[in-house]
Every structure is written in C-alpha cells, then in structure tokens.
C-alpha cells in the first residue's frame, strides 16, 4: 500500500470515528510534505557540494543513530536516516487544553495514536486558531512549538532541520526520545508514554556524553537534568494545590480567586528554587507566560512518572527496565498507574 493510500485511509477512519476531518487533512498534507522532501543522509554526507557544516551535523546524526541501536537497543529501522530542510522554526505546534477547574488535560482520540493530551498542527496559524476556539469555549489553553515528533514507526521519520541546530547533545536527546516512542508507546496513556521516552532520553544522553563528551559536559547535563527534576516537582506541587481547590465546595468566584493565589505561590516557589540554582534563568521564559491549567498539563504529561521510571532503570538495568515496562503496557491505565505508585513506594532489587 503506498503512502498516499495509507494516509487517505487514515482520514476515512477518522471521519467514521467522528473526529475532525479538516484536522486530519492538514495532518496528511503536512506529513506528505515531509515524506516527499526526504533525502538520504548518506547521500548528503558524501556530496561535496553540500555545505560542510550541514554534512558534519548529519554525520553526527548517523553516529548517534547507531549508538541508539547498539547501546540503547532502540529500533533499527529507516527512521532518521533521511533529512528534510524546513523553512520554519518548528515542525509542529501542539495545543493543550484543560477545563477552568481541572488540572487534567482534554484528550483527543485518533485511530493509531489512541487518545492523547494534545493536538498537533503543521501550521502555526491553524494551531492558534484552534487554541482561540477552545479559549472561547472557556477552556484554559496552551500552544507551543516542537522541533521533532514521531509517527510511532508507521513511517520512516526524517531528521529535520529544526532538530539539528541545537548542538550534538540536543540532537542525541531528541533522537533517543523519538526512537523510544517507537519501541514502546501505550495508546491512551500520554503521561506514561512521554515519561518513558523522557527516561530513555535522559539515560541515553548521559551515556552518550560519557563516550563522546567531557567530564564538564556530563556535569553540565546532570545539573540541567536536576533543574528539570526540580521544575517537575514545582509543577506537581502546584497541581496538588489546585486539585484541592477545585474539589472544594467553594463557589466559582472563590475558586478563581484561590486559583490565582495558587499561581502566585508557584511563582514564589520558583524564585526560591532559582536561588538554589545559583540564579539560572533556564525556566524564566516559561514563568513569564500566562500560567493556567493547560500550561501545567503540558509539562506534567512529560514529567509525572519520570522519577519512578528513572529509579527503576537505574536499579534494574536497561534490559530489566525494558522487560518491566513491556509488562506495564499489558495493564489497563488505572492498573498501570497503581503499579507505578507501588514502585515509587517500595524499593526494588536488581534481581527482581
């Protein structure tokens, strides 16, 4: 079955399921554009007429890809063996929404990806239009650009120009994350799937730096990862505060007032954490934007389960971790969450 027919059938399946057909047509058009523009990385690296800086970056991508397969046991397929130059800063813009008095994100369901906590658009104006429609319906909203995404192995995803300008370590982190999605992705559980990919990303990046970086590189990355963990704790604490407020019997006006005060508390807590970081401004831009339930959810989707998964990986080793998480994939969502909570509560031995 050729690519166009596969995508057309995807749109038909969406129409029959009652989802938004216009949304899928823009997704199909964006995906086709990427697939049609792919050029093998090997061909570009061997072409002396190609810019030398680009050739060097793509050579590094090939090495990172091989490391992902050999050292992290990630899928060895055609993904990230081709390259596409884009004329924009991001490949997709993701929209997240949540009700005014809920920390849980709205979910949209698709034939192959299952139900997810965001909706992606290949054009920024389309994302902003959709965001405005949701806001008009009274929802808290957030929209942000992404430099990479995964089709979960349904297509051979290319390396994009948006992925390679952040430096070698950034590229490694992106590739490890996206390939992890191809190894294990649980439909309908964005929080687990993203935390799983983030855990492999962080573990793989540190291993990559151990081989290809310096001691200073590793230390900088560990400090950045610690700041990320601290940030995740701030988000988790804020969501806990808001859950209590939203579950109260207070009238809407009181809930709104308490909600605003809770976000003031979050900013104060950040100032204290930032001081412990020595004044690092890494998250200043995030805190400078309007904050609401959706901005929190956009972060929590990626961070909630990372600490427990990272602890499991460090204790069980990579192969044991893969076996454990594959078993988790067989559980229902609520059973999986309960198992993860049990992992957090009880220590595990390497031989378990």
Terminal Cα-to-Cα distance of the chain (whole angstroms): 44
Instruction: Please tell me the least confidently modeled range out of 8-22, 90-104, 137-151, 281-295.
Output: 8-22
Q: Which DSSP string corresponds to 110-156?
A: ETTTEEES-EEESSHHHHHHHHHHHHHTT-EEEEEEES----TTSS-
Question: Biggest alpha carbon distance in the chain?
Answer: 69
Q: Which pLDDT score, from 0 to 100, does residue 4 have? A: 42
Q: Which pLDDT score, from 0 to 100, does residue 351 have? A: 55
Mean pLDDT of 256-269: 98
Instruction: Please tell me the least confidently modeled range out of 20-34, 107-121, 150-164, 308-322.
Output: 20-34
Q: Which pLDDT score, from 0 to 100, does residue 63 have? A: 95
Domain ranges of the chain: 3-190, 217-345
Residues sharing a CB contact under 8 Å with residue 241, sequence separation 6 or more, in sequence order: 262, 265
Which position has the higher pLDDT, 7 or 248? 248
Mean pLDDT of 64-70: 97
Mean pLDDT of 260-289: 97
Is residue 88 predicted with pLDDT exceeding 50? yes
Alpha-helix residue ranges (DSSP H) falling in the chain: 3-17, 21-36, 41-45, 52-72, 124-136, 168-183, 190-212, 215-247, 252-276, 284-288, 293-303, 306-328, 333-345
Q: Which pLDDT score, from 0 to 100, does residue 90 have? A: 92
How far apart are the C-alpha atoms of 321 and 304, rounded to whole Å?
18
Give the Cβ contact number of residue 156 at 10 Å.
Answer: 15
Q: Which DSSP string corresponds to 147-210?
A: S----TTSS-PPEEGGGSTT-HHHHHHHHHHHHHHHH---TT-HHHHHHHHHHHHHHHHHHHHH
Is residue 265 predicted with pLDDT exceeding 90? yes
Q: Which pLDDT score, from 0 to 100, does residue 151 have? A: 82
Q: Which pLDDT score, from 0 to 100, does residue 352 have? A: 58
How far apart are the C-alpha atoms of 295 and 300, rounded to whole Å?
9
Q: Enter the pTM of the model.
A: 0.85
**Model confidence at 25, in pLDDT bands (50, 70, 90)?**
low
Q: Which pLDDT score, from 0 to 100, does residue 33 have? A: 77
Nearest to 234 by CA among 179, 287, 158: 287
The average confidence (pLDDT) of the chain is: 89
Q: Which pLDDT score, from 0 to 100, does residue 224 have? A: 94
Mean pLDDT of 245-254: 97
Mean pLDDT of 329-349: 90
Supply 215's token pair. 């001691």
- Beta strands 159-160 and 140-146 are unpaired
Question: What are the start-end ranges of the E strands in 136-244?
Answer: 140-146, 159-160
Is residue 13 predicted with pLDDT exceeding 50? no
**Model confidence at 18, in pLDDT bands (50, 70, 90)?**
very low
How far apart are the C-alpha atoms of 190 and 318, rounded to whole Å?
22
Q: Which pLDDT score, from 0 to 100, does residue 10 have? A: 41
pLDDT digits (tens, 9 = 90+) for 158-217: 999 999 988 899 999 999 999 999 999 998 898 999 999 999 999 999 999 999 999 999
**Model confidence at 110, in pLDDT bands (50, 70, 90)?**
confident
**Model confidence at 245, in pLDDT bands (50, 70, 90)?**
very high
């Amino acid at each position: 079955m050729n690519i166009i027919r596969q995508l057309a059938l995807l749109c038909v399946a969406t129409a029959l399921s009652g989802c938004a057909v216009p949304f899928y047509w823009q997704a199909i058009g964006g995906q086709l554009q990427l697939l049609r523009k792919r050029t093998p990385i090997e061909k570009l690296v061997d072409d002396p007429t190609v810019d030398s800086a680009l050739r060097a970056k793509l050579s590094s991508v090939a090495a990172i890809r091989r490391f992902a397969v050999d050292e992290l046991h990630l899928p060895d397929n055609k993904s990230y063996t081709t390259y596409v130059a884009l004329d924009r800063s991001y490949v997709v813009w993701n929209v997240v929404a949540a009700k005014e008095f809920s920390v849980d994100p709205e979910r949209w369901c698709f034939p192959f990806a299952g139900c997810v906590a965001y909706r992606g658009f290949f054009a920024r104006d389309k994302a902003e239009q959709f965001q405005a429609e949701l806001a008009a319906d009274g929802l808290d909203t957030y929209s942000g650009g992404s430099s990479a995404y995964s089709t979960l192995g349904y297509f051979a995803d290319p390396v994009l120009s948006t992925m390679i300008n952040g430096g070698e370590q950034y590229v490694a982190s992106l590739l490890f994350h996206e390939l992890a999605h191809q190894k294990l992705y649980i439909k309908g559980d964005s929080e687990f799937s993203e935390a799983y990919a983030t855990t492999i990303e962080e573990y793989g990046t540190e291993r990559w730096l151990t081989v290809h970086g310096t001691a200073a590189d590793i230390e900088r990355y560990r400090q950045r990862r610690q700041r990320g963990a601290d940030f995740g704790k701030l988000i988790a604490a804020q969501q806990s505060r808001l859950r209590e407020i939203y579950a109260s019997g207070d009238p809407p006006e009181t809930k709104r007032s308490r909600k605003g005060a809770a976000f003031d508390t979050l900013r104060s807590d950040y100032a204290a954490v930032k001081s412990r970081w020595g004044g690092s401004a890494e998250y200043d831009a995030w805190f400078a934007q309007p904050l609401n339930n959706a901005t929190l959810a956009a972060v929590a989707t990626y961070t909630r389960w990372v600490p427990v998964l990272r602890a499991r990986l460090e204790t069980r080793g990579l192969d044991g971790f893969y076996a454990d998480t594959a078993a988790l994939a067989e559980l229902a969502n609520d059973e999986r969450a309960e198992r993860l909570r049990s992992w957090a509560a009880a220590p595990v031995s390497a031989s378990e």
